Amino acid sequence: MKKLTNRIFVSALIMLAGITSAYAETCAERVTVSDAWVREVPPVSQTSALFMTLTNTSDKEAALVSASGDVSKLVELHTHETDDKGVHRMFEVEKIIIPANGKTMLKPMSYHVMLIDLHNPLKAGDMVTVTLKFRDGSTKQVEAPVKKMMMPAMDHSKMDHSKHMQHK
């Protein structure tokens, strides 16, 4: 009788573990994507970038570990840093952390998904599909429109224009 009780108990534990794991959300389910877009580049450019906001709706940290897509030969996670002389350097990263109950913005001069060796030029209005892969192996497909990147307006109020003016 004791063996039968133990078997029933073990079976109940296994069933409960299966139910619990079935309800455990994956990173792809916990992380939402908003404001996704890809930078339009001149036809001669072989690279572009995907930007977006990743929001983690759970109390557990999530990590984006890779991305893939058929728009380019390589799809990599990148970031920028600026040295003390103001020189910008871009480099690949192993992961992008999305904090528990927080957001990580992928934006110009920060984290982004790099599209390297584009198969075709990207024009404003095109759609790009990329698959994001998270640390737990789950994936999420993102569709992003290609947009023109507007350059920030220059603040001319602090510029000295006197050298460029001709006096009559």
pLDDT tens by residue, 130-159: 999 999 999 999 999 999 876 544 443 343
| Mean per-residue pLDDT, 48-65 | 97
Q: What is the average pLDDT across 111-135?
A: 96
Highest mean pLDDT among 72-81, 84-93, 159-168: 72-81
**Single pTM value for the model:** 0.75
Q: How far apart are CA 67 and CA 141, in angstroms?
A: 9
pLDDT tens readout for residues 18-42: 444 445 789 999 999 999 999 999 9
- The candidate with the shortest Cα–Cα distance to 54, out of 109, 115, 5, 98, is 98
Domain map of the chain by residue range? 28-147
pLDDT category, 82, cuts 50, 70, 90? Answer: confident
Backbone angles phi, psi at 12, to 5 degrees: -65, -40
As a whole number of angstroms, the distance between CA 105 and CA 53 comes to: 4
* Under 8 Å between Cβ of 52 and 33: yes
Task: Give the mean pLDDT of 93-119.
Answer: 97
The structural architecture, per CATH, of the domain 28-147 is: Sandwich (2.60)
